[in-house]
Amino acid sequence: MKNLISLFFVFCFLVSCSSKNMDVENKEETAIAIQRVGDEYYNAGEYTAALKNLLDAYKTIPNDPYLHNSLGLVYMAKDRYNLAKTHFKKALDLKSDYTQAKNGLGAVYMKQKKWALAIQCFKEVSENLLYPTPEIAFSNLGWAYFNQKMYGQAKTYFKKSLEIRSAFLNAVHGLASLYIETGHHEKAIDFLHQALKRNPDAAILHSDLAKVYEALNDFDKARKSWEVVLKLEPDTSPLAKKAQKKLSELN
């Protein structure tokens, strides 16, 4: 009889533990689903809604490196760079080989104009053979060197990026900006015309073309390029506002 009673209590204990484990698993699965919703909001550019969902998920899975990376991306999109840096670093503490978080941390350092730290991050990412999109790291390295006026290094990395993905807009814009900045205007025009054949709706490239024409004092063509930017961009975007300002100056 005593053995039966003992077995009954052991059974109840196991059922209780199993139930608790299932509750924990269910909560974690729900939190992961909420995180995915947050990521979808982020991808759609709805950053406040994204943050709300990600913070809800954080209550249950505070030690998930992927969640911290998502939070880093959202805080960076909302210009809260110190918070973004905190979450990217936490993601790396939890998963040291998390290259996406390392690239995100480098992007934060770029925003903060900490070029040496940014370069260190991007080089580590670009040297990781498992990183699926090295063209992003190479392009980011190009921009980090460009902003320090180290144009030779910048050109090398922009070209490395474009060797991997020839139409990668970030690198195309970077190399065009470099040609403009260094006074290679005809080369910039040829390069941009070729790029726009592949991507005619890239407003940033039309703005680059407008800058070249301005530098050459060809204001009619500059005006036309800025007008294209206005057609392609939402009225409230920073690039559209810049186009409006430029057109006002040119008229």
> Residues 73-104: pLDDT tens digits?
999 999 999 999 999 999 999 999 999 999 99
Integer Cα distance of 52 and 73 in angstroms: 13
Mean pLDDT over residues 184-202, rounded?
97
SS3 133: coil
Whether domain 18-132 has CATH 3.30.70.20: no
Kindly report the CA angle at 30 between 14 and 60, in degrees rounded to 5? Answer: 80
Give how far Cα 22 sits from Cα of 9, 18, 28, 115, 246, Å: 20, 6, 10, 47, 61
Give how far Cα 27 sits from Cα of 19, 52, 56, 59, Å: 12, 17, 11, 10
* pLDDT value at 10 more than 80: no
Per the CB < 8 A criterion, the answer to whether 131 and 99 are in contact is yes
What pLDDT shows up at residue 71? 97
* pLDDT value at 19 more than 60: no
Query: Is the model more confident about 6 or about 45?
Result: 45
- Provide, rounded to the nearest whole percent, the portion of the chain with pLDDT above 70: 90
Residue 173: pLDDT band with limits 50, 70, 90: very high
What pLDDT shows up at residue 25? 74
Amino acid at site 194: Q
Per the CB < 8 A criterion, the answer to whether 143 and 171 are in contact is no
Integer Cα distance of 234 and 201 in angstroms: 13
SS3 69: helix
Query: Is the model more confident about 131 or about 211?
Result: 211
Instruction: For the chain, give the mean pLDDT.
Output: 91
Residue 21: pLDDT band with limits 50, 70, 90: low
Amino acid at site 100: Q
Say which residue the tokens 């990668």 belong to: 168
* pLDDT value at 156 more than 70: yes
Amino acid at site 239: L
Amino acid at site 114: K
Mean pLDDT over residues 217-224, rounded?
96
